[in-house]
Amino acid sequence: MRQRHLLTPDQHARIHARVTRVRSPEAILVMPDDLWRALSLASMLMNIDADLVQPPALSDDAG
C-alpha cells in the first residue's frame, strides 16, 4: 500500500506500530479513526476483498 502511494509513510508506520504492538484483533479494532479510514480506502483501491469472494481453486489432480 505504501509502495503504491495509497498510504503515507507516517500512516504506514503508525499502522505497523499499532498492529505489531497489540496482542489481539480486538485491540487492533480500536485503531484511531484516521488510520482506519486510510487503511479502508487503500484496501478498497487495491480491491483486497476480491480475493475473499473468489471461489476456491479446485485442483485437477486426481491424487
Give the chain's domain count.
1
Asked if residue 42 is part of any domain, the answer here is yes
Measured in Å, how far apart are the chain's first and last C-alpha atoms? 39
Asked if residue 43 is part of any domain, the answer here is yes
Asked if residue 58 is part of any domain, the answer here is no
Residues 13 and 45 sit within 8 Å (Cβ to Cβ): no
Amino acid identity at 62: A
Cβ partners under 8 Å of residue 28, min gap 6: 18, 19, 22
Amino acid identity at 49: D
Asked if residue 59 is part of any domain, the answer here is no
Of the two residues 27 and 63, the one the predictor is more confident about is: 27
Asked if residue 60 is part of any domain, the answer here is no
Asked if residue 35 is part of any domain, the answer here is yes
pLDDT of residue 38: 92
Distance of CA 46 to the CA centre of its chain: 10
Please say if the pLDDT value at position 62 is more than 60: no
Q: Which residue range(s) make up the domain with 38?
A: 9-53
- 10-59 per-position pLDDT tens digit: 999 998 999 899 888 898 888 899 999 998 888 888 876 666 677 777 76
